[in-house]
Amino acid sequence: MAIHQKVRQIQLVGRKIRELRKEHKLTQVELSQRLGIQQSDLSRMEQGEYRVSLDTLFRILAEFQMSIGEFFDELAQESITPRDVRLVQQFNALPNDAQREVEDFIAFKRSMHRKDDRADSDADSEEESK
């Protein structure tokens, strides 16, 4: 997964936490006390600067009485682009044997990309050692 996409996901989670907090008319201080975390950590989470731990996420879900599915449903919808939808629709319109060919091609391209990344990394290491 690209670093940019990971950062975007962290920001989306933070925005969702802030929306929930504001919907429930809580300050950062109040919510952080209820969750047992530092207010500064909550602030950084909401700003997308700090990754939310699974433990903290479960406490947030319990505080707002929601399931993990409810929490991430909106986030999943936001992270799916029109291009993603179009590609999935085109893929699903293919016959099964053609879908397998596409999956094999993707696996091949990913393996080639990993080899290229390793070669680049090896070249960088070689340059650094000189």
- Are the C-beta atoms of residues 34 and 63 closer than 8 Å to each other? yes
pLDDT digit string, tens, across residues 21-42: 999 999 999 999 999 999 999 9
Residue 37: DSSP 8-state? S
Instruction: Write the secondary structure of 48-117 as one string of H (helix), E (strand) and C (coil).
Output: CCCCCCHHHHHHHHHHCCCCHHHHHHHHHHHHCCHHHHHHHHHHHHCCHHHHHHHHHHHHHHHHHHHHHH
Query: Cβ distance 38 to 100 under 8 Å?
Result: no
Q: Average pLDDT by consecutive 10-residue portion of the chain (130 residues)?
A: 70 92 97 96 93 93 92 72 85 93 92 72 54
Give the pLDDT confidence of 59-71 residue by residue, as tens digits. 999 999 999 888 8
Q: What does the pLDDT read at residue 10?
A: 85
The pLDDT of residue 113: 79
